Every structure is written in structure tokens, then in C-alpha cells.
């Protein structure tokens, strides 16, 4: 094959699969509604099963359901016949996936599903098949042909089935009012989890690391504090630790340009009052947005009594992997 032929083949495959997925929109009927209502009412887990390529797709559908608020896992039908059926309880819902609707390994476990009275949803390409007829709701994932020129390798059919599974998962997600924070709780190790769960208090510098200088103290003492703490700024406080202002490297440059005697002015004379502050419960991602909008590199974290309890630097957020 020439390079042109490779591209032509790929384009044909993509078009066939895209057209087949588009046709699904016209098949979303009462069976889809019944499937969603059954899964929402499930007090156990949604068990997905399928053989071969259908099994691989089922595994992904189960993972998507589980990460979007519907407890779910995949059971291999072959293993189910040799002990794994014990994973299925009467409180569960079963989704069986079979393009033919007559897959022997799945039909083998059908009697037990029926005996336990477990609601079964099928995804098949034949509404007259054994599994389709036995299901409480059958979702039609039939295709006119596979992208494979031999019409043998599951290609278009698996793509359509995956899309139907995604449609189920998202319909349930929206029905549950599932939020981005809910999603993050099932993905705590990923970048999304860090962005949605990590708060300023989790990564801020606190206690003795916070630069503090009294408003009555001279400027030259503040410079020592700034050098020691290394944030390029210091908080300016009252005798009872209430935040009055902030003094930064930028303020220092302006003082030098104005030829002010740093030994004869107090912090009250040179500080910037009403500094930008945040609460420790704010998300680190929100704090980063504030820094970017205000073109600053650090934020003071204060408590409900307006006392500085921490400093959050942009580098802390970057190190935490929020971005």
C-alpha cells in the first residue's frame, strides 16, 4: 500500500465508525430510560460482563461508571462460571454486552442472574437474540457493517458499544448531580485530584516560617526578616498579631529610589496597607488564579481574626503539581 492508500483506508474507517455512532442518537428510546432508572435505583453495584472484544469494551465502561458516581466493576463471563459469580449479589444490576446476543459464555450464567432476580440490561446487535429477549432493557448497538473489509474484526460495533456506555455513564452522572469535586475524590492521585482537592492550608508555609514585623519597628529590621524567610515580602502586624499591611521587594525598590533613610522610618510609614489575603480553605488552584490576575508571586493566608497564619508562594503551588 502507498501512503495515500493508508490514509484513504483510515479515513474510510473513521467515517464508518462516526456514521454508526451518529445513528445511535435515533435509538435512544424507552429502553435507555429504563436502563438509567434501573441503574440509579441499584443498591449494590453495576456488574458489566462480556466476552472477547465486548469484554474489553465492558471493562472500560465499568471503569467509566465507577469514576463518575456509579459503583461498578467488570466480571469475565468465563471466570464467572468458575467461581466469580460469587461477586454478584441480589442487590446488583448486570449489564451484558454481546454483539450477537447469543454468546455462549454469557448465556451460561444467565440462569443464575434470573434465579437471583437481578435486573439485567443488555447491549446487543440483535434485538431478537437470547440475551436481548431476556433483558429488562436492551440497548441496540447494531451496525450495518464492521470497518474491517472482511466484516469480521469487531471495529465499528465496539466503537458504537463504547459510545453507548459513555452515554449511560454521563446520563447517570448528570442525574446524580455529580460534581467535579466528586470526580476528584475518585482520582486523588492525578493532576485533576490535586487541582480540585488541594487547599492553600495543605501547602502553605506556616508558624515560624511566616515573616512578621511589627508596624512600630524600623524598616532595617524588616529587611533582616525578609532575607531570613526568603519570600521577598513580610507581613506587617500589630502587637496582638493582627494584619495591617505587607512590605515587598517592590516596596523596597520604591523606598530606595525615593532616598528614604531606612534607619529612621517605621513599617507603618512604608508598608502597603490592605494586602491581598486568602483563607486557608481556598483551593490552591484558586489561589494561583488570584496570583496570576494580580501579578503577584505570594499570598498571605489569614484566619478569621485577621491574623497571618501562613504564606503561599507560587512555587509551592507549582511543586504540588496543581498546574
Name the helix (H) or strand (E) containing 194: helix 191-197
pLDDT given at position 283: 85
Q: Predicted confidence band at 323 (pLDDT cuts at 50, 70, 90)?
A: low
Spatial distance between the Cα atoms of 54 and 43, rounded to a whole number of angstroms: 25
Round to whole Å and give the CA distance between 66 and 82: 25
* Cα–Cα dist 120/46, whole Å: 10
CA distance 231 to 24: 57
**pTM to 2 decimals?**
0.64
Report d(CA 45, CA 61) in Å as an integer. 13
Is residue 190 over pLDDT 90?
no
pLDDT bin (cut points 50, 70, 90) of residue 194 is low
Confidence at 1, pLDDT banded by 50, 70, 90? low
Do the beta carbons of residue 166 and residue 141 sit within 8 Å?
Answer: no
Q: How high does pLDDT run on average in the chain?
A: 89
Q: pLDDT at position 180, please?
A: 62
Residue 15 pLDDT more than 70?
yes
Q: Which domains are present in the chain?
A: 3-178 (3.40.50.10490), 200-319 (3.10.580.10)
Residue 110 CA, chain-centre distance (Å), reads: 35
Cell of 71: 459503583
Query: ∠ CA(151), CA(1), CA(150), 5° rounding?
Result: 10
How many angstroms separate the Cα of 9 from the Cα of each of 20, 296, 321? 17, 53, 41
Q: Distance between the two ends of the chain, CA-based, in angstroms? A: 44
Strands 308-313 and 205-206: antiparallel
Over residues 289-297, the mean pLDDT reads 90
Given a cut of 70, whether residue 226 has pLDDT beyond it is: yes
Q: Are 120 and 113 in contact (CB under 8 A)?
A: yes
Cα pseudo-dihedral 2, 4, 9, 12, rounded to 10: -170
Amino acid at each position: 500500500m502507498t501512503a495515500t492508500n493508508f490514509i484513504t483506508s483510515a479515513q474510510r474507517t473513521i467515517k464508518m465508525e462516526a456514521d454508526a455512532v451518529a445513528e445511535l442518537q435515533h435509538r435512544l428510546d424507552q429502553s435507555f430510560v429504563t436502563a438509567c432508572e434501573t441503574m440509579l435505583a441499584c443498591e449494590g453495584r453495576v456488574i458489566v460482563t462480556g466476552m472477547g472484544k465486548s469484554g474489553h469494551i465492558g471493562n472500560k465502561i465499568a471503569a467509566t461508571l465507577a469514576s463518575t458516581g456509579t459503583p461498578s466493576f467488570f466480571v469475565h463471563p468465563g471466570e464467572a462460571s468458575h467461581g466469580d459469580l460469587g461477586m454478584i449479589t441480589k442487590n446488583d444490576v448486570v449489564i451484558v454486552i454481546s454483539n450477537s446476543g447469543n454468546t455462549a459464555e454469557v448465556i451460561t450464567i444467565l440462569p443464575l442472574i434470573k434465579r437471583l432476580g437481578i435486573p439485567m440490561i443488555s447491549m446487543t446487535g440483535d434485538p431478537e437474540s437470547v440475551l436481548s429477549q431476556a433483558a429488562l432493557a436492551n440497548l441496540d448497538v447494531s451496525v450495518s457493517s464492521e470497518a474491517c473489509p472482511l466484516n469480521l474484526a469487531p471495529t465499528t460495533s465496539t466503537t458504537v458499544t463504547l459510545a453507548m456506555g459513555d452515554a449511560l455513564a454521563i446520563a447517570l452522572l448528570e442525574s446524580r448531580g455529580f460534581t467535579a469535586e466528586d470526580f476528584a475524590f475518585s482520582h486523588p492521585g492525578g493532576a485533576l485530584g490535586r487541582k480540585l482537592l488541594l487547599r492553600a492550608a495543605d501547602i502553605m508555609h506556616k508558624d515560624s516560617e511566616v515573616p512578621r514585623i511589627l508596624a512600630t519597628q524600623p524598616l532595617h529590621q524588616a529587611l533582616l526578616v525578609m532575607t531570613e524567610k526568603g519570600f521577598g515580602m513580610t507581613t506587617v502586624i500589630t502587637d496582638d498579631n493582627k494584619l495591617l499591611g505587607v512590605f515587598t521587594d517592590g516596596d523596597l525598590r520604591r523606598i530606595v529610589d525615593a532616598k528614604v533613610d531606612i534607619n529612621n522610618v517605621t513599617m507603618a510609614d512604608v508598608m502597603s496597607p490592605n494586602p491581598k489575603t486568602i483563607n486557608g480553605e481556598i483551593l490552591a488552584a484558586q489561589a494561583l488564579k488570584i496570583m496570576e490576575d494580580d501579578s503577584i508571586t505570594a499570598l498571605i493566608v489569614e484566619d478569621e481574626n485577621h491574623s497571618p497564619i501562613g504564606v503561599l508562594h507560587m512555587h509551592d503551588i507549582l511543586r504540588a503539581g496543581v498546574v
